[in-house]
Amino acid sequence: MENFNELQREILRLKKEKNALVLAHYYVPLEVQDVSDWVCDSFAMAQKAAKAENDLIVICGVRFMGESAKILSPEKTVLLPSMDAGCPMADMVTPEDVLRLRELHPDAAVMCYVNSSAAVKAVSDVCCTSSSALRIARGLDCREIIFVPDKHLGSFVARQVPEKKFWLHPGFCPTHHKITEADILAAKRAHPDAVFAVHPECGEDVVKYGDLVGSTAEILDFARNTDAGEILIGTESEIVERLRRELPEKKIYGVGSTFMCGNMKKVTLRALYECLRDEKYRVEVPEAELKAARKSLDLMVNS
């Protein structure tokens, strides 16, 4: 704690005073991660929110993460440090899109990536994360799956579950979508001895080069446990910085120059401090929507 700045100390004081649980996603700034109770990917965040005993939960992440926490803990106060921290991929699909796909493919189950609004979750059958998508797809008692909103994650799962027919919504993560095959080849030429860990939100032309294709948590575990001394990281830039700090004995390289989620960077120390101080911004989900969305989230968390 002696290395923390004044704002970080104030955040720690407010957390204790208000008995608040602060959950941070791996993509928010490291200085915010450092004063959080848990730093995790969206799956672990959902689990911890569901099990939390605290009456006040602060989600240091984007809007859909706050909604998921509220859906799983409706009796608790859930706060977001930045209400305008949205997810462009989540905004690419609407409930109406899902209902139209259901009409076109009435025998298909709807798998909804957690990067989606509460309203979309409410009209889906089951939610998933990048770490659970493959397991959930295989376990569904159906031969057809509508996957929304991420075409890249959906395609990655579909290639490994050929016994089922997938109908993919055309959404994508703009941050991961920017990375190209040319970026990967250039990085491999620059670091020929490096292994490559990549997130399945990247396109197939990028993912095919991965020594590990997995969620953020899986990428971190891979970097920690591999015997390789050099690692290329194919996901958001904060992961590169985290691993460089955590694994100084290894050489950690980012891929490309645009691998940053601007929405996650809106969750600043100042924003977190003001959120705790003023207990803003509260996440609310309409009751009917919350109850419907909870079914798909419960299946994800308990799968």
Out of 3.40.50.850, 3.40.50.10800, 3.90.25.10, 3.40.50.300, the CATH code matching 179-254 is 3.40.50.10800
d(CA 35, CA 40): 13
CB contact set of 121 (below 8 Å; sequence gap of 6+): 68, 71, 112, 127, 292, 293, 296, 297
Return averaged pLDDT per consecutive 10 residues of the chain, 303 residues in all: 80 96 97 96 83 93 95 93 96 98 98 96 96 94 97 98 98 95 95 98 97 95 98 96 97 88 96 97 95 91 75
CB neighbour burial string for 211-236, b if at least 16 within 10 angstroms, e if fewer: ebbbbbbbbbebbeebebeebbbbbb
Q: Which of 58, 210, 56 is nearest to 130 (CA)?
A: 210
Residue 122, judged by CB atoms within 10 A of its CB (0-12, 13-18, 19+), counts as buried
Domain boundaries, the chain: 6-87+264-288, 90-172+290-302, 179-254
Q: Which helix (H) or strand (E) holds 140?
A: none
d(CA 145, CA 107): 8
Q: Which of 264, 196, 202 is nearest to 233 (CA)?
A: 196
The pLDDT score that the predictor gives to residue 9 is: 95
Q: What is the phi/psi pair of residue 203, to 5°?
A: -70, 160
pTM, rounded to two decimals: 0.93
The pLDDT score that the predictor gives to residue 232 is: 98
Out of 3.40.50.620, 3.30.450.40, 3.40.50.970, 3.40.50.10800, the CATH code matching 6-87+264-288 is 3.40.50.10800
The pLDDT score that the predictor gives to residue 256 is: 77
Please report how the helices 42-51 and 287-302 are oriented relative to each other, as an axis angle in degrees rounded to 10. Answer: 110
What beta strand segments (E) does 37-184 contain?
38-40, 56-60, 77-79, 109-113, 126-128, 144-148, 165-168
Q: Do domains 90-172+290-302 and 179-254 have the same CATH topology?
A: yes
∠ Cα 149 239 83 (to 5°): 55
The pLDDT score that the predictor gives to residue 195 is: 98
Out of 3.30.413.10, 3.40.50.10800, 3.40.50.2300, 3.40.50.620, the CATH code matching 90-172+290-302 is 3.40.50.10800
The pLDDT score that the predictor gives to residue 1 is: 43
Q: What is the phi/psi pair of residue 267, to 5°?
A: -85, 85
